[in-house]
Amino acid sequence: MISADLTGGLALTGTKTPVIALLTNDRSLEECVAQVLLEVRGVSHLAHSPGEVLDLVCTSGPDLHLTVIDCEHGPHGLTLVGAIHRRRGAFPVIVLTGPGDKRIEALAYANGAAVCLSKPVSATQLAETMKQCLRLQPQLALAMVA
C-alpha cells in the first residue's frame, strides 16, 4: 500500500482520502501512480491479478474511488473492466494500453472503461486523468442516489 498526506483539494463523498486500485506488474507505472497519489493525498491498493482487483471492487463499496488497469494482463484485464462495469456501473476505470493498440482501446471502452491511455504515459497525463476521474466521484454518487 502506498500512501501520502499532502494537500490535494479533492472533496470526495464518504472519505477525504481517494482510494485507488492499481493492477500492474510495471514498476515504472507503480512509481508514476505513487507520484500522483502524493498530489491527491491518496492511497493505492496494488494488485497483481485481476481477481485481486475484483475482490477489492466487490468488498470496498463506496470507499474505492478509482481503478487503474494496465492491460498487459490481456483478455483478463478486459474481462475485469467488464466485471467492474457490471458490478459498479459508472465507476471510473482507467485502462492503459500498449502503444497505439486501438483494438484493446476499443474493447476497453466497449466494456465500460472511462478513459484509455496509451503507454508510455507521462506522470502529468496520468495525474490529470486520475484527478478528473476523482472529481467526478461526488457527481456519480449523487446520480446513483437519484
The 10s digit of each residue's pLDDT in 50-74 is: 999 999 888 888 888 899 999 876 6
39, with CB counted inside 10 A (0-12, 13-18, 19+), is middle
Q: What domain range includes position 55? A: 2-145
Q: How confident is the model at residue 137 (pLDDT cuts 50, 70, 90)?
A: low
Overall average pLDDT of the 32-42 stretch: 79
Overall average pLDDT of the 104-131 stretch: 90
Total structural domains within the chain: 1
**Which CATH number goes with the domain that contains 61?**
3.40.50.2300
Pairing mode, strands 19-23 and 2-3:
unpaired
C-alpha separations of 84 from 10, 36, 44, 108, 139 in Å: 23, 23, 17, 12, 18
Length of the chain measured in residues = 146
Q: In the predicted model, is pLDDT for residue 2 greater than 60?
A: no
The residue ranges of DSSP E strands in the chain, in sequence order, are: 2-3, 19-23, 43-47, 66-70, 93-97, 115-118
| CB contact set of 56 (below 8 Å; sequence gap of 6+) | 21, 45, 47, 64
The whole-model pTM stands at 0.80
Q: What is the spatial distance between Cα 19 and Cα 88, in angstroms, rounded to a whole number? A: 15
Q: In the predicted model, is pLDDT for residue 27 greater than 90?
A: no
The pLDDT score that the predictor gives to residue 69 is 93
